[in-house]
Every structure is written in structure tokens, then in C-alpha cells.
């Protein structure tokens, strides 16, 4: 056991730093540093830059990514340096979610059609899982796909579909069969969003932003060959995917950056003769958060290390989901606390940045972020469901 | 010892309750947040007609001479309806202050109009560096012959965009954080040299940043004694904490009850989610937090009215508890509503947002715990 980096690791770190110094676009950096949302083009451009360097699909086998696989330590270094530079978080739906399903369960035709397009960020994916009546109880989903010749006819509705307004394709869980055990009639289906009969309706969230949507399917015709894996095996694929989603959900490296930013900003927030960082109550919360964050980081590293020596991400991923999202929410709360009254002026997403800020220049996005991040303990399997998973799968209760 | 409302108070409670049920349905409320002022003048006139705007103003000033208990009853019901009309800002924060400390002329000038619903007021006490310290005042007022000249900046002035007059704290002597040397001024919103940047707050209310550049006001605009404004301001904030805590308690009641009802109807895994013990216990905790706040609210309000020696400590204890409970109940209501809880469409998110701002306004839990310790 040791925690130190080898000379090769340190060289790799320098390579990442050098790469970012010369390749991180100024306009994207500016919006990231001001905590303003990126547009579609900026997201895609950044992903293409990373992809060209071979640092985009780092969790893919090299036969699909076309790049040498990084070691666990290298991935750790890459993530941390990217986070320190405050580069955009990658959109997980294609590279982190759909692609692992395709390269693990898909046909050669599906691999050839979709993997290069995901690798190159030419196709934007979204996720069709939750339905109005099926949230935590995902397996109760009702969106139907009825076979008609070489096609499925899809009818139903998906909800909380993140960024569906930009998406070219959606991967869906659909019911291909009514079976006594509800999990057994579910299949994993890829649908082109341009197909006739699909309608996307925005859902506005408490922070005033348009991030999620409802997606309606009205007699949407989808070729049978767009099923991934076996018909009726969708639930197993969904579980596989959820485990991938949950393990990435902690976002540790980003949290480390946010925590040091909080420390920095609270050290320049005046309270009487001193600063907010000198206030014992606030300081204690920062330090407690740091300890909890460090514990979560090393829990993640232990998990990843066991995966890289042959294990698979199991229910341990649920620990990371719970702890990671709790930390994300705690930090968003502390930022709000830091601002005091200046957390209250409010501008909708599209007005942010077009106004001179009220209060400190970083103030504008902090309250919307806090409000928006109430979602993280709900999505990807609510934290209550995650605790059920741990209690059942690990504790055997 | 008596924890019951008298007949008159029960009547007021029913009256406000009825108003909210009849005239303050969710759709109407949501249409108000899109208007310029963010509240309804018709409603404000109704408040005046029903005597609510003068409930806490003394008889001599044309009010009804009520106590903090009366204000509490009103504010708790307003909290249930998530009422946008700036009663707290105009009546509790400002009119009561003038009633208690103003000159006869100021009372005559302002209070009749307030009681009749003709004007709006706003208290400008916070500054960018002051955080929650009322004594941290950099805005200056200099006496020159018979005028005061004001220069400075006031931040997040609640109800600022609607105010016809401001009460502004300014330093007339002493150092930046001295309690002595602060004076309060009644300033017309139209006065030359006073400019404002108006905006909406996250709870869909209105606020302003005020810049004062050589604002000239006559000496008669001084409220109370020169240099002695801190005590007056501090007392106004104490009353305001009681009022906003009552609002919070009302909002918490709606949130925990709404959540309980939702979990009875929302089915997952073939059963209402309210049947799951982990959620039951969470809702029990929400309920208990609400009850504990209500207890501290009643206690602190009565101590305040009785002028008890530990009233200030009770008020800080209350605000500490309200801050914590607001966060817990707000966050858990969202959590138990799942995705629906984070939508703009559902009322839950709006109650959550108001409870979030209430947690900060007049000092957050950390601030009041520290103050409680020092008292």
C-alpha cells in the first residue's frame, strides 16, 4: 500500500497541465469561472478537444476509444487537474452511460453506428428512464413498445429527461411484454429523436432554469434492430447502467475545487473586524465538510482499485452516490450561507451575466445552484432507494 | 399562564384565514409575482379596510393598539398563504418604528397613510460589509446648518422598489461598528441624490440597492435622538424577527401537511410511499420541528410583550430554531415530493424558497446562536 505518485505519474500530471494551458478555450473558461451555463456548442467543442487528446472516453476499452487506457492513478490525476482548471463537467449520457451499454451488450452494427459518434460528440444523447408514475419504482414503467413487423411502435411518456431539448438520440427503457414479474418485460431501446411522433415539453425547475423535460411518444416507429441486448433483458442492462451512473455521480474532484473556492471566498468575506473564515461556527462546517469529502474520496479510490483488479462496481457505488450528493448539497448550502443577504437577488439563467452583478461578482449563480441541487439526492435513484440497496445487497437485511 | 387567543384574536385569525382561502388561491398568487410591484393593490386595500395595517399601531397614531401576539396571528396566516403583500416591510419594520420613536409630525405624516393603505415603506439598514451586524454602518449623515447630507450605500432593501419612503440608518458620529453614533432618517423615495437598483429576490419578492449621493434632507427627518438610533433599530428588528418567525411557522405547517398528503396519494411499489417507515419518521421529524418552532414563537412573543428581561435571548433562540427548522422542513418537503418538488409548477418549491430566505433575513442560525451565547 502506498499513496505516492511515481515519476511517470508526475510526468503525466505535467502533461495534463501543459495540455490545458494551451488548449482550454478562453471563452469557455470565462463562463466556467463566472459560473454561467454553457451553450450546446461550447459543451461539444470542449468534449471534442478532450477526445482528440484521448482523454474523453477514459473508461472505455481501448479497442473502442482508440486511445491507450489510462491507469487508475492517471485517471485520478486527470480528473483532479481538470477540476482544478474548472473545466466543464462532461455530459454523461453518451460517453458515460449509453456507450458502456452498447460496447457491453450491443451488436457490431450498433457499435459501429453509435460509438464513434459518441466518441466525437457528434450525437447528443439523453436518457429515457423515469415516467410520471415510475420514479423510485422504475420497473413499474408503462411506456409500451409493440412489435409490428420489423418495427416497434412506441407509446408513452418519459420525464425528468435532462437536456432532451438538445438531444439527437434517446436511450429508453420500454415495456415490450406484459409479464407477471414486471422487470422481465422491459427492453433497452435506442430511439432517434427526429422520428415522427416525439414531442419534447420543457419542465421549469425552482431555480428558473430549463434543464429537464417531458418526452412524449405517440406511435413512434423504431426499427427492431435498435433494441440493445436481448428483448426482455432491459432491466439487467438498466441495473448495469445505474451502477455506472452512480459511481460517477460523486464528482469528488469537482467538490475539492468547490471547497477550496469556498474557503478562499469566505476568507475575503468581511464579518466585523475579521472574515467569515474566522467565524468558528462557519469554519467548523468547512473543516467537517473537508473531512467527510476526504473520506468519500478514499472510499471511491478503494472502490475503483477493487474494480481495476477485477471486481465490478456493486452496491458500493450506492455509498458514493449518497455521500457524494450529500456533500454537493452541503457545499451548495455553505455557499448560500457565505453570501448572507446577497444570496437573495435573483436572475433567471438567461439574465445571468447580462447584468452587472448585485453584491459580489460570483453571487448570481449561487442560490440557483443551491435550489437546483436539491435534485441530486432525488435523481439516479433517490438516496432513500440507495440506502435500501445497501441494506439489502451489503448488509443482507 | 394562558396559551389561548382571546375572542378578538380568534376573530382576526378566522378573518385572515378566510381571506387566504377565498382571495389568495395559488393561481392568483402566481400571477402577482409577474407584475411590476409583485403584490396586489386591491389586496392591500382590503388589508386596510379590515384594519390589519393598523393592528399594531397605537391608538394615538390612528391604529388599533394591538400587541405582538396580534401581529403574530396575522403573520402566521400570511405564511400559510405565502402572502406577497409587504406587510412585514411596511408595517412591522417601519410603521411600528415610527410609531415608537418618531416625532409627532412624522407620525402624522406617515402613519395615517400607512393605516389607510396609501403608502409603502422600506427599512434600509444593511450594507454590503455589514452582514447581520446592525451597528456596522458606513453610510454617513452630516449636519450642515438645518440639513443632513447623506452619502453611502444600502443593500438588499426589502420592498425598496415599492417604497414611497425609506427609513435609513446612517452614521452621525463614532467608528464604523460603534452602536452609538447611528441615527435613523425618514427619507422620501423621490429625493434628489437617492438612486435605486431594483430587482426580484429568489422568493419572488422585491428589493433594491440604494445609493445615496449628497442627499439633502431637513433636520426634521431625524427619527428619535441624534446618535441614538441603534436601540430603536435593534428593537424594530426584534419585532420583525418575531413577525417573520410567525410567517415561517405558517409556511412550515403548510409544507409538512402538504408533504404528508402527497405521500398518502403517491404510489410506488404498489403502495402509497407514506407507508414506508423511513419516510414516516422523516415526516414525524418535520412535524416536531414545526411544533418546536411554534412553542419558541409563542414563548418569545409573550416575553417580548411582557418586556421580560430575557426577551432578547428568547428572540435569538427562536430565530436560531426557525433557521434550522426552515432548512430541514423545506429541504425534506422537496425530497419527499421527488422530482415534482424541484419544479416551478408545484407550490412546494415556492414555500421552500421563502423559508430559505427567512433563514437568512435578520441573521441566520449561526449569527443568532452566537448572539444567544453572548446574552
Q: Is B195 on the interface with A (CB under 8 A)?
A: no
Q: Per this entry, what is the length of chain A?
A: 397
> Which pLDDT value is given to residue A354?
56
Q: Is B273 on the interface with A (CB under 8 A)?
A: yes
User: Could you give the angle at the alpha carbon of A370 between the alpha carbons of A361 and B353, nearest 5°?
Assistant: 105
Q: Is residue B1 part of a domain?
A: no
Q: Are residues B201 and B143 in the same domain?
A: yes
What is the number of structural domains in chain B?
3
Q: Please list every residue in chain B whose beta carbon sits closer than 8 Å to the beta carbon of residue A160.
A: 339
| Contacts (Cβ under 8 Å, ≥6 apart) of B13 | B5, B73, B77
End-to-end Cα spacing for chain A? 33
Question: A159 in helix, strand or coil?
Answer: coil
Residue with cell 452621525: B172
Q: Are residues B44 and B19 in the same domain?
A: yes
CB B350 within 8 A of CB B204: yes
Q: Please list every residue in chain A whose beta carbon sits closer than 8 Å to the beta carbon of residue B268.
A: 134-137, 140
Using left for φ > 0, alpha for ψ between -120 and 50, and beta otherwise, residue A191 falls in beta
> Which pLDDT value is given to residue A364?
87
Domain boundaries, chain A: 7-90, 124-232, 249-393
> Which pLDDT value is given to residue A245?
63
> Which pLDDT value is given to residue A34?
84
- Round to whole Å and give the CA distance between A154 and A142: 11
Write down the CATH superfamily of domain A249-393. Butyryl-CoA Dehydrogenase, subunit A, domain 3 (1.20.140.10)
The beta-carbon neighbor of B339 closest among A159, A208, A347 is A159
> Which pLDDT value is given to residue A309?
76
* End-of-domain residue from the set B229, B262, B282: B229
> Which pLDDT value is given to residue A282?
97
Task: Determine whether the interchain pair A337/B268 forms a contact, defined as Cβ–Cβ distance below 8 Å.
Answer: no
State the smallest CA–CA distance between residue A63 and chain B in angstroms.
38
How many other β-carbons are positioned within 10 Å of the β-carbon of residue A170? 25
The beta-carbon neighbor of A137 closest among B268, B331, B361 is B268
- Round to whole Å and give the CA distance between A211 and A163: 5
Task: Determine whether the interchain pair A206/B353 forms a contact, defined as Cβ–Cβ distance below 8 Å.
Answer: yes
Q: Per this entry, what is the length of chain B?
A: 375
Q: Are residues B38 and B63 in the same domain?
A: yes
Give me B103's grid cell: 416625532
CB A240 within 8 A of CB A260: no
Q: Is residue B317 part of a domain?
A: yes
* End-of-domain residue from the set B165, B196, B229: B229
397 residues of chain A, pLDDT tens digit each: 788 888 999 999 999 999 999 999 999 999 998 888 889 999 999 999 999 999 999 989 999 999 999 998 899 899 999 999 999 999 999 999 999 999 999 999 999 999 999 999 999 999 999 999 999 999 999 999 999 999 999 999 999 999 999 999 999 999 999 999 999 999 999 999 999 999 999 999 999 999 999 999 999 999 999 999 999 999 999 988 877 665 566 789 999 999 999 999 999 999 999 999 999 999 999 999 999 999 999 998 888 787 777 766 677 888 999 999 999 999 999 999 999 999 999 987 666 665 577 999 889 889 999 999 999 999 988 999 999 999 999 999 9
- Round to whole Å and give the CA distance between A146 and A154: 7
- Round to whole Å and give the CA distance between A395 and A378: 23
Q: How many CB pairs under 8 A join A and B?
A: 131
Q: Is residue B98 part of a domain?
A: no
Q: Are residues B266 and B297 in the same domain?
A: yes
Contacts 24+ apart (CB under 8 A), B128-132: B128/A342, B128/A359, B128/B153, B128/B155, B129/A270, B131/A269, B131/A270, B131/A271, B131/A272, B131/A340, B131/A341, B131/B367, B132/A340, B132/B362, B132/B363, B132/B364, B132/B367
Chain B nearest-CA residue for A355: B199
pLDDT of residue B356 exceeding 70, the answer is: yes
Q: What are φ and ψ of residue B68, in 5° steps?
A: -65, -25
| pLDDT, tens digit, 9 for 90 and up, residues B83-123 | 999 999 999 999 999 999 999 999 999 999 999 999 999 99
> Which pLDDT value is given to residue A304?
79
Domain span holding position B112: 7-85+106-118
Q: Are residues B242 and B366 in the same domain?
A: yes
Q: What are φ and ψ of residue B244, in 5° steps?
A: -70, -30
End-to-end Cα spacing for chain B? 25
> Which pLDDT value is given to residue A307?
74
Q: Are residues B210 and B318 in the same domain?
A: no
> Which pLDDT value is given to residue A380?
86
Provide the CATH topology of domain A124-232: Butyryl-CoA Dehydrogenase, subunit A; domain 2 (2.40.110)
From chain A residues 212-231, the ones with a CB under 8 A of any chain B CB are: 212
Q: Are residues B245 and B316 in the same domain?
A: yes
Q: Is residue B160 part of a domain?
A: yes
Mutation target to probe the B interface, by most B beta carbons within 10 A, among A129, A133, A339, A341 is A341
Amino acid at each position: 500500500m502506498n499513496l505516492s505518485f511515481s515519476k511517470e505519474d508526475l510526468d503525466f500530471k505535467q502533461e495534463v497541465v501543459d495540455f490545458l494551458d494551451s488548449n482550454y478555450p478562453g471563452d469557455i473558461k470565462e463562463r466556467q469561472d463566472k459560473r454561467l451555463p454553457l451553450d450546446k456548442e461550447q459543451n461539444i467543442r470542449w468534449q471534442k478537444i478532450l477526445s482528440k487528446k484521448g482523454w474523453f472516453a477514459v473508461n472505455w476499452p481501448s479497442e473502442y476509444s482508440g486511445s491507450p487506457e489510462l491507469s487508475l492513478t492517471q485517471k485520478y490525476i486527470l480528473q483532479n487537474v481538470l477540476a482544478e482548471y474548472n473545466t466543464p463537467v462532461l455530459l454523461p449520457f453518451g460517453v458515460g452511460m449509453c456507450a458502456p451499454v452498447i460496447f457491453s451488450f450491443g451488436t457490431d452494427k450498433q457499435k459501429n453506428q453509435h460509438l464513434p459518434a459518441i466518441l466525437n460528440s457528434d450525437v447528443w444523447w439523453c436518457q429515457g428512464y423515469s415516467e410520471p408514475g415510475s420514479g423510485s419504482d422504475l420497473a413499474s414503467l408503462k411506456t409500451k413498445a409493440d412489435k409490428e413487423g420489423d418495427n416497434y411502435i412506441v407509446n408513452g411518456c418519459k420525464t425528468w429527461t435532462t437536456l432532451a431539448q438538445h438531444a439527437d438520440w434517446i436511450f429508453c427503457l420500454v415495456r415490450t411484454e406484459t409479464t407477471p414479474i414486471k422487470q422481465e418485460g422491459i427492453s433497452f431501446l435506442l430511439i432517434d429523436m427526429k422520428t415522427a411522433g416525439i414531442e419534447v415539453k420543457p419542465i421549469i425547475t425552482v431555480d428558473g432554469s430549463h434543464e429537464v423535460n417531458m418526452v412524449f411518444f405517440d406511435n413512434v416507429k423504431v426499427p427492431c434492430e435498435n433494441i440493445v441486448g436481448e428483448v426482455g433483458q432491459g432491466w439487467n442492462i438498466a441495473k448495469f447502467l445505474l451502477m455506472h451512473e452512480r459511481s460517477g455521480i460523486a464528482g469528488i474532484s469537482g467538490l475539492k475545487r468547490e471547497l477550496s473556492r469556498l474557503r478562499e471566498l469566505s476568507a475575503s468575506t468581511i464579518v466585523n473586524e475579521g472574515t467569515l473564515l474566522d467565524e468558528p461556527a462557519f469554519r467548523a462546517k468547512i473543516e467537517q465538510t473537508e473531512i467527510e469529502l476526504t473520506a468519500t474520496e478514499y472510499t471511491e479510490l478503494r472502490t475503483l482499485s477493487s474494480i481495476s483488479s477485477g471486481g465490478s462496481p456493486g452496491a458500493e457505488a450506492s455509498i458514493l452516490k449518497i455521500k457524494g450528493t450529500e456533500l454537493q448539497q452541503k457545499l451548495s448550502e455553505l455557499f448560500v450561507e457565505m453570501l448572507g443577504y446577497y444570496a437573495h437577488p435573483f436572475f433567471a439563467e438567461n439574465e445571468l451575466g447580462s447584468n452587472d452583478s448585485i453584491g459580489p461578482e460570483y453571487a448570481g449563480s449561487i442560490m440557483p445552484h443551491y435550489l437546483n441541487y436539491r435534485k441530486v439526492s432525488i435523481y439516479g435513484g433517490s438516496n432513500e432507494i440507495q440506502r435500501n440497496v445497501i441494506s439489502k445487497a451489503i448488509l443482507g437485511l | 399562564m394562558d396559551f389561548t387567543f382571546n375572542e378578538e384574536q380568534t376573530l382576526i385569525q378566522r378573518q385572515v384565514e378566510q381571506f387566504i382561502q377565498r382571495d389568495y388561491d395559488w393561481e392568483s398568487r402566481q400571477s402577482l409575482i409577474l407584475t411590476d410591484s409583485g403584490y396586489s393593490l386591491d389586496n392591500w386595500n382590503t388589508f386596510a379596510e379590515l384594519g390589519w395595517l393598523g393592528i399594531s399601531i397605537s391608538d394615538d397614531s390612528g391604529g388599533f393598539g394591538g400587541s405582538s401576539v396580534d401581529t403574530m396571528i396575522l403573520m402566521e396566516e400570511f405564511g400559510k398563504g405565502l402572502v406577497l403583500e409587504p406587510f412585514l416591510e411596511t408595517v412591522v419594520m417601519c410603521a411600528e418604528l415610527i410609531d415608537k420613536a418618531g416625532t409627532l409630525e412624522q407620525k402624522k405624516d406617515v402613519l395615517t397613510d400607512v393605516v389607510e393603505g396609501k403608502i409603502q415603506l422600506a427599512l434600509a439598514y444593511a450594507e454590503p460589509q455589514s452582514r447581520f451586524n446592525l451597528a456596522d454602518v458606513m453610510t454617513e449623515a452630516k449636519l450642515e446648518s438645518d440639513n443632513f447630507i447623506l452619502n453611502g450605500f444600502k443593500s438588499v432593501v426589502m420592498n425598496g422598489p415599492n417604497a414611497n419612503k425609506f427609513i435609513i440608518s446612517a452614521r452621525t458620529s463614532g467608528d464604523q461598528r460603534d452602536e452609538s453614533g447611528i441615527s435613523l432618517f425618514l427619507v422620501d423615495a423621490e429625493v434628489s441624490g437617492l438612486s435605486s437598483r431594483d430587482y426580484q429576490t429568489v422568493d419572488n419578492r422585491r428589493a433594491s440597492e440604494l445609493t445615496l449621493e449628497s442627499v439633502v434632507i431637513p433636520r426634521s427627518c431625524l427619527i428619535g435622538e441624534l446618535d441614538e438610533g441603534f436601540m430603536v433599530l435593534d428593537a424594530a428588528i426584534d419585532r420583525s424577527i418575531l413577525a417573520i418567525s410567525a410567517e415561517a411557522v405558517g409556511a412550515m405547517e403548510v409544507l409538512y401537511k402538504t408533504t404528508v398528503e402527497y405521500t398518502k396519494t403517491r404510489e410506488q411499489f404498489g403502495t402509497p410511499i407514506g407507508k414506508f417507515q423511513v419516510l414516516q419518521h422523516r415526516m414525524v421529524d418535520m412535524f416536531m420541528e414545526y411544533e418546536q418552532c411554534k412553542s419558541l414563537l409563542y414563548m418569545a412573543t409573550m416575553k417580548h410583550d411582557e418586556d421580560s428581561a430575557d426577551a432578547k435571548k428568547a428572540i435569538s433562540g427562536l430565530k436560531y430554531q426557525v433557521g434550522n427548522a426552515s432548512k430541514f422542513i423545506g429541504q425534506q418537503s422537496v425530497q419527499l415530493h421527488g422530482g415534482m418538488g424541484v419544479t416551478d409548477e408545484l407550490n412546494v418549491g415556492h414555500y421552500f424558497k421563502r423559508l430559505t430566505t427567512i433563514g437568512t433575513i435578520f441573521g441566520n442560525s449561526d449569527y443568532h446562536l452566537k448572539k444567544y451565547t453572548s446574552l
